[in-house]
């Protein structure tokens, strides 16, 4: 589905009854921001499983795949109506979510470590961070979740090919795989700006 929104346009979707028309937002102040606002997605069991953009959440609700549990107080103006923008939606049918780690990648390592150098605790832009092998590759270290951490360039140069204790350095926390529990922690961080998420995330 195109992310482009045009005044008076209509997006088509499919559901059990045939074609359904989903109104696209007209150009009004705040609508573009509202379309990209984060929405918490719950399974039918109320278990948090994902975060999506408000645009996607509205499509799921209008298709009858999900229902709105919480609203964020904003309206999305369309050609023929104004819709309340959801803050939390819940799937109407239970989806089995396999408990597995995410793909090992630089992006996911930085996301897990919240763009924070794991040695000096400085929060930086992704472009200002590198990945460090806790056990250096030259000394048998592997590229795994448990041996890769976000690291600023200064700490990376200081550590070099040493173990952290040899360089007088200490990790903020033990690196682990980016699993479902870690993903929920990221949801909690994103939900700090919306109190309506709290009762679904902190349990």
From first to last of the 203 residues of the chain, give the pLDDT tens digit.
Answer: 333 333 233 333 444 344 344 444 444 545 667 788 889 999 999 989 888 889 999 999 999 999 999 998 888 776 677 788 999 999 999 998 776 667 899 988 998 998 999 999 999 999 999 999 999 999 999 999 999 999 999 999 999 999 999 999 999 999 998 877 777 777 777 777 788 888 888 64
**What is the rounded CA–CA span in Å between residue 172 and residue 25?**
45
Does the residue 61 lie in any domain? Answer: yes
User: Do 75 and 126 fall within a single domain?
Assistant: no
Does the residue 39 lie in any domain? Answer: yes
> What residues make up the domain containing 197?
10-98+181-201
User: Do 133 and 152 fall within a single domain?
Assistant: yes
User: Do 37 and 17 fall within a single domain?
Assistant: yes
User: Do 157 and 116 fall within a single domain?
Assistant: yes
User: Do 93 and 115 fall within a single domain?
Assistant: no
User: Do 156 and 191 fall within a single domain?
Assistant: no
Does the residue 176 lie in any domain? Answer: no
- pTM above 0.85? no
User: Do 49 and 116 fall within a single domain?
Assistant: no
Total Cβ atoms within 10 A of residue 10: 12
**What is the rounded CA–CA span in Å between residue 35 and residue 177?**
32
Q: Quick check: 45 and 90 in contact, CB under 8 A?
A: no
Does the residue 34 lie in any domain? Answer: yes
Q: How many structural domains compose the chain?
A: 2
Does the residue 78 lie in any domain? Answer: yes
- How would you classify the pairing of strands 66-77 and 48-53? unpaired
DSSP structure string for the chain? ------TT-EEEEEETTEEEEEEPBPS-TTHHHHHTSEEEEE-TTS-EEEEEEHHHHHHHHHTTSEEEEEEEEEEEEBSS-EEEEEEEEEESS-------PPP--HHHHHHHTTTB-TTT--B--GGGEEEEESS-GGGT--SSTTTEEEEEHHHHHHHTTS-GGGGT---SS------HHHHHHHHHHHGGG-GGGHHHH--
**What is the rounded CA–CA span in Å between residue 117 and residue 123?**
6
User: Do 142 and 193 fall within a single domain?
Assistant: no
């Amino acid at each position: 589905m195109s992310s482009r929104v045009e005044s008076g346009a209509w997006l088509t979707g499919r559901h059990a009854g045939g074609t359904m028309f989903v109104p696209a937002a007209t150009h009004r102040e705040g609508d573009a921001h509202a379309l990209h606002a984060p929405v918490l997605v719950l399974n039918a069991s109320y278990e948090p499983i994902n975060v999506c953009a408000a645009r996607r959440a509205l499509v799921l609700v209008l298709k009858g795949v999900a229902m709105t549990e919480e609203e964020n107080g904003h309206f999305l103006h369309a050609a023929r109506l104004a819709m309340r923008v959801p803050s939390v939606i819940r799937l109407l049918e239970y989806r089995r979510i396999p408990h597995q780690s995410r793909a090992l990648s630089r992006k996911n390592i930085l996301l897990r470590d919240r763009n924070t150098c794991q040695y000096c605790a400085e929060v930086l832009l992704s472009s200002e961070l590198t990945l460090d092998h806790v056990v250096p590759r030259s000394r048998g270290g592997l590229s795994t979740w448990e041996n890769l951490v976000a690291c600023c360039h200064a700490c990376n140069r200081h550590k070099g090919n040493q173990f952290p204790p040899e360089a007088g350095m200490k990790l903020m926390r033990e690196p682990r795989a980016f699993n479902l529990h870690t993903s929920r922690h990221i949801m909690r961080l994103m939900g700090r700006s919306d109190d309506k998420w709290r009762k679904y995330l902190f349990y």
